[in-house]
Structures are given as C-alpha cells and as structure tokens.
Chains A and B, each alone.
Chain A
Amino acid sequence: MDRLYPWILRTLGLVVPALVVALGWQLYQGAAAARHAFGWGFVVGSSWDPVFNHFGAWPFIFGTLVTTAVAIVLAAPLGIGVAIFLAELAPNWLRGPVGYLVELLAAVPSVVFGLWGLFVLAPWMRTDLEPWLIAHGHNFPLFRGAPYGLGFLAAGLVLAIMVTPFVVGMAREAIIAVPRVQREAAYALGATRWETIWQVVLPGARSGIAGGVLLGMGRALGETIAVTMLIGNTPAVSASLLAPGYTLASVIANEFTEATTALYTSALVEIGLVLFASTLVVNLIARLMIARLAAAGAAA
C-alpha cells in the first residue's frame, strides 16, 4: 500500500493535465471547419451572420474584454479596500459577520445575480444612472448614446459584485500573513497606522493581492449566465459602455441550440476554443506573476 499510494496519486495528478490537453485538442478539432473557412480572420472579423454563414468573433472577444475590464477596475479597489478593512481596521466584533457575508456573496449562484441585475439594477441604470452619466459625461466616449439599461456597464457592474469576494478573500489572507513583527517595526519607528498599512503591510502582501485580482479576472472572463442576462446580446463593437454587446461565453450559451449548420456549430466551438485559451493564458500569467512576486518577496 505504501508503494501503491504515491503511484495512484501520481497517476491522478497526471489525469488532470491530460484532461486539459484533451479538451483543448477536441475543441481545436471541432473548430476545424471554422478555422479552414476563416483562418485568423475569425478572431478579427466583426460580422457574425448565421444566415449568410459568415462568422467573426471580434464582437464577442471585445465584449468579454470590456466587461472583464469594467469588473476588475471596480472590484480590485473595492475588494482590496474591504480586505484592508477586515484585516486591519474593523473592530473584532465586526470582522466575523462582515467576513461571513462576503463569503456568502461568493456562494450565491450566478443566475441569482443575473435576476437581480435584470430586475433591479438594469431598470435603475436605465432611468437614473445612465441618464446622469450621459448628462454629466460631457460627451465622454465611454458614456455616450441612449440609456438601454442592458449593456457592457450593467454586465460589468454585476461581474464586479460577483468577483469582489474572490479579491477580498485572497487579499485578506495575504494581508493577515504579513508578520506582526514587521508592523511593530514600523510603529516603533513612529509610523502611523496608515503609513504602516500603505508602506509596510500592502507591499508585503502584494503577491497575494495580485493573485486575488487575477483570480477574479479569470472568473469574470468565463462567467456566463449573469452576463448573458445583462449584456444585451448584440454582436456589436461600441466605444460606449452604455451600448449593448455580447461576450464569448454568452454567445455559446445562447446559440448552441440554434446552430443548424456544421459551420455554425464549428464557429461556436472555435469561440469556445478562444475562451478556453484566454482563461488558460490569464491563469498562466496569474501563476507566473504570483510565483515571481513570491520569489521576490522571499528574496527581498
């Protein structure tokens, strides 16, 4: 048994990478028809027209990038802020309940966020937030156009809420892991609480914080159902965050039942391949970054 056990574990350890490779390979095979028909034009082509059997994925890639960017721009400062509050500032009696609520937020099924976004957030955005942004945006390209409610901004906002708990969790761990003796060293030199947090604790926790942000980014890239309910499902590229759009994950979810031709199916599979590859790349970068920062932290 003692000899068998490591062997079993090693085999199991190889199964997972093998599955990843197999999945990638099968997506690649399934996308063959679309790859042959459009080549690299598939990722830069901006027309998605099942009627004329013409497929370009750029609007979906664009929508995925924009919603993810909106989510991270909002969730990173919010999540890091909450983590600092929970780890450093909140009185003890508040840490438990608030921490628990944040964890609970991570456990809510995404379809519930979608419903809330659809029935609460989007109507409010249409009648209040977006008219205000348009009026006070001074024609800033990001906030132009008509207030639809549904669009990049709505999807990005809900994604931000969904992703924040992951940022909070990782960042809080990282902040707590900074040794107490380093804080004491700062205080003993006459540092204030803020100076200690900003100049000693956060630099010490940066690798974990970066990891949390990238983990959140990975989640945002692949999130499907809530985004599908809020993005507006229009394969269009627009500079305005108020416009409706589409993402890689939501086009697959919406259209795979309607894909009647072989080329159509193959195009959806290729979209899956793009999504698969980009989440893989983000996670890879995340890992490399964390490893590099951790090494720098160990050496520094």
Chain B
Amino acid sequence: MDGIAASLRNVNFFYGSQQVLFDVNLEVPERGILAFIGPSGCGKSTLLRSMNRMNDLIPGARLSGEVRIGDEDIYRPGADVISLRRKVGMVFQRSNPFPFSIAENVAYGIKINRLARDRATRDAIIERSLRSAGLWDEVKDRLHRPALALSGGQQQRLCIARALAVEPDILLMDEPASALDPIATARIEELANELKERFTIVIVTHNLQQAARVSDRTSFFLMGKLIESGETRQIFSKPVRKETEDYITGRFG
C-alpha cells in the first residue's frame, strides 16, 4: 500500500433532518479493494456516494466533516465536482447503460471530458477499456449494436468499461453483482481482482463471502457508525468488536 487515496474525517450525513452517518473517520489506501459491509440501511451507499458527491443530486442532503480525495477537499466551497467525478468513477447496483450502442456507451465519458483528440485515439481508449473490463472479445464484432441487447452480466461489465474509459483513480462499486447470477458474479469478482493492481476500489456488498473473497480491507458499519475497519483477514477471523463478530457470524443483519 503506497499512499492514501481518500480520507474521511468526522463525516456526518443528513437526509433533511434525519442523520444517517455519525462521525465516520476512514482512510482508503491506494490500490487494493476496500469492502463496506453492514446490515441494510446502515449507510454504506450513502458513504460511498459522498465520495463522488452523487448525493448532491438529492434535495435536502447535507454533509459535514471533511472528505479528501488525494489531497483535495472535495466539499470545499468552489470544489470542481465535474473533475472530481472523472477521478472517482462509479458502478451502480443495477447496470445502467445508456440506450446507445456499446461503443457510444464507452465513448460517452471520453466525449464529455474531451479525452480524445481524434477518432483513432477514441477507438483505442474504447478498446482498452473494454479489454480491461474483460468484455472486448465478446463484443468486438458488434460495437455498434445496442448496449441494452447485452446480457445483465455483460451490461454490468460494459458499465465498468464506461467508468474505466475516463481513467479514474478510484472506482466505487455499489453492490455491482447483486443482480447477477453466480457465474456473472464470479466474472465481476475476477475483474475487480485484476483492476485492483491499477485502481483503488471501494465496493459495497451484502455478500460476506464476497467481501472475504475479494477485498484486502473491510469496514463494518452499523446504524450509521463505522464500527470496525481493518485487514479483511483480521475482520473475518479475529474481529475486535462484539458487534462485528455478531454480524460476521450471522447473529443479526
């Protein structure tokens, strides 16, 4: 682990008057996979989405505390949300390709961020991103066919390719495999394992085996509080906190 990709300090989060995150302090090391686990409604998605300011879209949502990506305080007044979101990519629970062709989906981020000067560069980025997402061989002959004609697992890998095309530093994944069958899920996990060499990945999952299989570090949340955070092996074998142990062993949640 070379450096710190993101750090959160005293993060409190409110939907209107309802507080859903309480004083979260967390450092996300560069590269590798960090998993967020915890029972439904404990605030995993909210925390994840506060790292690329996706919560800004929700009226009445408010954050206090400090979130740093690299050395940038992303909630500082005047912070550039657009360039933040280019640096912090996101993959959603349900695959959400645009109703465009496969190539256009991957090209969208390239287009709006003006990352390719010419067609050849653009096509090269498309190919590289699809290869990184393990989708190239399956789609290289039908790049101009509608993305929505792909299978669920392929669509999700397309969404990963789309996120990779803008070369983010961090990739946020909110239960990226929860709508997929076991084979497609295994494919996504394999992919996450390859990508962690080059990107910092934060993944929310409900599936404890999945967290244990793929992640290097794990953070356990309960009712808006970060209970425990550490090496995945340690969290799953010798948790420090009683709540963590109860959750890991399936006593609740």
* A binding-site residues for B, Cβ under 8 Å: 92, 179, 181-192, 195, 199-200, 203-204, 297-300
Q: Which one of B62-70, B83-91, B217-225 is at the interface?
A: B83-91
State whether A184 touches B148 (Cβ < 8 A).
no
State whether B86 touches A182 (Cβ < 8 A).
no
State whether B100 touches A300 (Cβ < 8 A).
yes
- Taking CB atoms, residues of chain B closer than 8 Å to A92 are 59
State whether B92 touches A181 (Cβ < 8 A).
yes
Q: Give min CB distance, B199 to chain A, whole Å.
A: 15
- Taking CB atoms, residues of chain A closer than 8 Å to B244 are none
State whether A300 touches B148 (Cβ < 8 A).
yes
State whether B112 touches A189 (Cβ < 8 A).
yes
Chain B residues numbered 16-71 whose CB sits less than 8 Å from any CB in chain A: 52, 54, 57, 59
State whether B92 touches A189 (Cβ < 8 A).
no
Cβ-based interface call for B159 (8 A): yes
* B binding-site residues for A, Cβ under 8 Å: 52, 54, 57, 59, 82-83, 85-86, 89-90, 92, 94, 96-101, 108-109, 112-113, 146-149, 159, 162-163, 166
CB-CB nearest 5 A-B residue pairs: A181-B96, A300-B146, A189-B109, A188-B90, A190-B86
Give the CA-CA distance A186 to B105 in the complex, in Å: 10
Q: Which of B59, B82, B90 contacts A192 (CB 8 A)?
A: B82
Give the CA-CA distance A183 to B98 in the complex, in Å: 9
State whether B96 touches A189 (Cβ < 8 A).
no
State whether B109 touches A299 (Cβ < 8 A).
no
State whether A299 touches B148 (Cβ < 8 A).
yes
State whether B57 touches A185 (Cβ < 8 A).
no
Give the CA-CA distance A121 to B237 in the complex, in Å: 81
Give the CA-CA distance A192 to B112 in the complex, in Å: 9
Q: Which of B82, B89, B98, B163 contacts A182 (CB 8 A)?
A: B98
State whether B96 touches A187 (Cβ < 8 A).
no
- Taking CB atoms, residues of chain A closer than 8 Å to B94 are 181
- Taking CB atoms, residues of chain A closer than 8 Å to B147 are 300
Q: Give min CB distance, B101 to chain A, whole Å.
A: 8
- Taking CB atoms, residues of chain B closer than 8 Å to A186 are 98, 108, 112
Q: Give min CB distance, A102 to chain B, whole Å.
A: 23
State whether B54 touches A190 (Cβ < 8 A).
no
Interface of A is mostly: helix
Q: Give min CB distance, A96 to chain B, whole Å.
A: 15
- Taking CB atoms, residues of chain B closer than 8 Å to A181 are 92, 94, 96
State whether B96 touches A203 (Cβ < 8 A).
no
Q: Closest residue of chain A to B96, judged by CB?
A: A181
Give the CA-CA distance A46 to B159 in the complex, in Å: 60
Known A-B contacts A181-B92, A297-B99, A300-B100; A190 and B82 likewise in contact (beta carbons under 8 Å): yes
Q: Give min CB distance, B150 to chain A, whole Å.
A: 11
State whether B108 touches A189 (Cβ < 8 A).
yes
- Taking CB atoms, residues of chain B closer than 8 Å to A187 are 54, 57, 85
Give the CA-CA distance A189 to B52 in the complex, in Å: 10
Give the CA-CA distance A187 to B52 in the complex, in Å: 10
- Taking CB atoms, residues of chain A closer than 8 Å to B113 are 189-190
Q: Closest residue of chain A to B147, judged by CB?
A: A300
State whether B112 touches A184 (Cβ < 8 A).
no
Give the CA-CA distance A191 to B166 in the complex, in Å: 12
Q: Closest residue of chain A to B88, judged by CB?
A: A188
State whether B59 touches A188 (Cβ < 8 A).
no
State whether B148 touches A188 (Cβ < 8 A).
no
Give the CA-CA distance A5 to B148 in the complex, in Å: 39
Give the CA-CA distance A188 to B162 in the complex, in Å: 10
Q: Closest residue of chain A to B80, judged by CB?
A: A190
Q: Closest residue of chain A to B85, judged by CB?
A: A190
Known A-B contacts A92-B59, A200-B98, A297-B99; A185 and B82 likewise in contact (beta carbons under 8 Å): no
Task: Give the one of B52, B83, B99 with max A CB within 10 A.
Answer: B99
Q: Which of B83, B101, B146 contacts A190 (CB 8 A)?
A: B83
State whether B96 touches A185 (Cβ < 8 A).
yes
Q: Which of B86, B92, B146 contacts A185 (CB 8 A)?
A: B92
Give the CA-CA distance A202 to B133 in the complex, in Å: 28
Task: Give the one of A190, A203, A297 with max B CB within 10 A.
Answer: A190
Task: Give the one of A185, A187, A192 with max B CB within 10 A.
Answer: A185
Q: Give min CB distance, A225 to chain B, whole Å.
A: 42
Q: Give min CB distance, A185 to chain B, whole Å.
A: 5
Q: Give min CB distance, A177 to chain B, whole Å.
A: 12
- Taking CB atoms, residues of chain A closer than 8 Å to B82 are 190-192
- Taking CB atoms, residues of chain B closer than 8 Å to A191 are 82, 108, 112
- 14 A-B residue pairs with Cβ-Cβ distance under 8 Å, sorted by A, are A92-B59, A184-B54, A185-B92, A186-B98, A186-B108, A189-B113, A189-B162, A189-B166, A190-B86, A191-B108, A192-B82, A203-B98, A298-B148, A300-B99
- Taking CB atoms, residues of chain A closer than 8 Å to B101 are 300
Q: Closest residue of chain B to A193, judged by CB?
A: B57
Q: Closest residue of chain A to B172, judged by CB?
A: A188
Q: Closest residue of chain A to B94, judged by CB?
A: A181
Task: Give the one of A192, A199, A297 with max B CB within 10 A.
Answer: A199
